[in-house]
């Protein structure tokens, strides 16, 4: 079987989808599928690809079909993208196209090429059709749906949802084709062996001898950093040594974040450390007393799965759609709403207190590791995805 993954960019600083695509494709290649990834170049292309080659098992089994960094004409027309994907599909039976995202011309052209060659295709919106996401720039998205993106979605052989909540919202939009739930995961080989305990703290003098809560994701409003700062401010007086480490690339929210930190007068206890990659990321997770992600919307957070695999208790919002964290006793899932901000922040603060008060949380840490090892590794997920592709080939009448 040949699989053609299509995504706008493999730049890891753009968030979860680029990191997910490389790992899913590598795991599928391990199972014998012939893998291609089609994407536009990004400004730091060589560095990004080198990072994937160094960290992702069997990434070298994937054929990368990179298109030059697009100019304005290409962004609108997608002509080069259409040509590249058409070339891959010509004379290639038993090929499935897997599109990642929604609002990019390369994806619409990937769907067009698949329809022209009667190849089944599946779309993974990665949370972009969630009501919260649809409300952002909603008029532009309504226009985009009328200008070809609704056709792209309605003509797909299947839709790839990351969880039951996403599947429910997709079906409410009127898309009636098969909606397959395929979560994200981790490569345990990528995480293990873990760095020695204390590795991250030793290289960060301000943290030595002090426990810390870790946030690791893009610095973006939807990630709920304003909620986390307010909750941390509530517990800071009771836990005078506890610090907050905020790691991740700026998604347009960094200055707002700094303003809130200054207003709350907690700058001495909040550390913005930028992006963390590879073993340095896992070292920071391992030394943390708690991982916290109070997002307003998530598809399926890779950072949560990584933290649990490392063995860090997690405190997350219900919008992360990962109730298994609570069911497995690996952390706490907090119900949060912007309609009840103070109640939500207090609930988050209470959950953080529960973790801090029960250190070292050996049972909770072990529960997280077991949950991920049993259900959320890329080899398990790749096998499930290939079964979905086989069904698509058997039922496609494009």
* Residues forming a β-bridge with 142: none
> Do 360 and 382 reside in the same domain of the chain?
no
> Do 180 and 227 reside in the same domain of the chain?
no
Q: Please tell me the least confidently modeled range out of 145-154, 267-276, 335-344.
A: 145-154
> Do 57 and 194 reside in the same domain of the chain?
no
Q: Which two tokens stand for residue 261?
A: 């930190």
* Residues forming a β-bridge with 4: 36, 97
User: Average pLDDT over the chain, rounded to whole?
Assistant: 93
Write out pLDDT tens, residues 312-357: 999 999 999 999 999 999 999 999 999 999 999 999 999 999 999 9
Percent of the chain with pLDDT over 70: 99
> Do 29 and 60 reside in the same domain of the chain?
yes
Write out pLDDT tens, residues 90-100: 987 889 999 99
Residue 264 has pLDDT above 60, yes or no: yes
Average pLDDT estimate for 286-290: 96
> Do 105 and 6 reside in the same domain of the chain?
yes
Average pLDDT estimate for 237-254: 94
**CATH assignment of the domain containing 29:** 3.40.50.2000
Per-residue pLDDT band at 396 (split at 50, 70, 90): low
Average pLDDT estimate for 54-83: 92
> Do 55 and 166 reside in the same domain of the chain?
yes
34-44 burial: b if 16+ Cβ within 10 Å, else e: bbbbbbbbbee
40 vs 47, higher pLDDT? 40
Write out pLDDT tens, residues 199-241: 999 988 899 999 999 999 999 999 999 999 999 999 999 999 9
Q: Distances in Å between the alpha carbon of 334 and those of 119, 254, 304?
A: 42, 24, 14
Per-residue pLDDT, 91:
83
Q: Distances in Å between the alpha carbon of 165 and those of 323, 348, 377?
A: 11, 22, 21
> Do 224 and 107 reside in the same domain of the chain?
no
> Do 168 and 28 reside in the same domain of the chain?
yes
Per-residue pLDDT band at 134 (split at 50, 70, 90): confident
Q: Please tell me the least confidently modeled range out of 162-171, 210-219, 373-382.
A: 162-171
Per-residue pLDDT, 353:
96
> Do 17 and 112 reside in the same domain of the chain?
yes
Q: Which residues constitute the domain of residue 258?
A: 189-375
> Do 76 and 205 reside in the same domain of the chain?
no
* Residues forming a β-bridge with 215: 246
Residue 398 has pLDDT above 70, yes or no: no
Q: Which of 103, 106, 105, 101 is nearest to 39 (CA)?
A: 106
Q: Report how many domains make up the chain.
A: 2
Q: Please tell me the least confidently modeled range out of 49-53, 79-83, 193-197.
A: 49-53
* Residues forming a β-bridge with 3: 35, 96
> Do 45 and 181 reside in the same domain of the chain?
yes
> Do 14 and 123 reside in the same domain of the chain?
yes
Residue 275 has pLDDT above 50, yes or no: yes
Average pLDDT estimate for 158-175: 91
């Amino acid at each position: 079987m040949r699989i053609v993954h299509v995504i706008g960019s493999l730049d890891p600083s753009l968030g979860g989808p680029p990191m997910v695509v490389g790992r899913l494709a590598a795991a599928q290649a391990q199972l014998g599928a012939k893998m291609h990834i089609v994407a536009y170049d990004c400004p730091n292309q060589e560095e990004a690809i080198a990072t994937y080659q160094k960290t992702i098992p069997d990434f070298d089994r994937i054929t990368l079909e990179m298109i030059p960094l697009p100019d304005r004409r290409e962004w609108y027309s997608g002509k080069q993208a259409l040509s590249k994907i058409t070339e891959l599909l010509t004379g290639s039976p038993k090929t499935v196209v897997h599109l990642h995202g929604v609002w990019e011309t390369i994806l619409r052209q990937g769907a067009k090429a698949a329809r022209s060659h009667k190849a089944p295709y599946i779309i993974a919106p990665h949370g972009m059709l969630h009501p919260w996401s649809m409300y952002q720039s909603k008029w532009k998205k309504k226009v985009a749906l009328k200008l070809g993106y609704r056709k792209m979605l309605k003509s797909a052989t299947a839709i790839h949802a990351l969880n039951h909540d996403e599947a429910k919202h997709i079906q409410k939009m009127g898309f009636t084709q098969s909606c397959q739930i395929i979560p994200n995961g981790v490569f345990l080989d990528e995480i293990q062996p873990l760095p020695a305990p204390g590795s991250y703290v030793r290289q960060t003098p301000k943290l030595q001898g002090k426990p810390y809560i870790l946030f690791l994701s893009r610095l973006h409003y939807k990630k709920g950093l304003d909620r986390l700062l307010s909750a941390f401010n509530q517990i800071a007086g009771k836990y005078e040594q506890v610090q907050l480490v905020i790691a991740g690339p700026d998604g347009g929210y960094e200055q707002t974040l700094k303003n809130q930190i200054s207003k709350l007068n907690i700058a001495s206890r909040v550390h913005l450390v930028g992006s963390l990659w590879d073993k340095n990321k896992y070292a920071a997770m391992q030394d943390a007393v708690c991982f916290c992600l109070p997002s307003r919307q998530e598809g399926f957070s890779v950072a949560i799965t990584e933290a649990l695999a490392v063995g860090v208790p997690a405190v997350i919002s219900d919008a992360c759609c990962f109730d298994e964290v609570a069911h497995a006793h690996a952390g706490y899932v907090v119900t949060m709403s912007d309609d009840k901000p103070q109640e939500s922040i207090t609930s988050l603060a209470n959950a953080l207190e529960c973790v801090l008060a029960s250190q070292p949380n050996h049972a909770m840490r072990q529960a997280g590791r077991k949950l991920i090892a049993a259900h959320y590794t890329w080899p398990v997920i790749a096998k499930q995805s290939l079964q979905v592709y086989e069904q698509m080939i058997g039922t496609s009448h494009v």
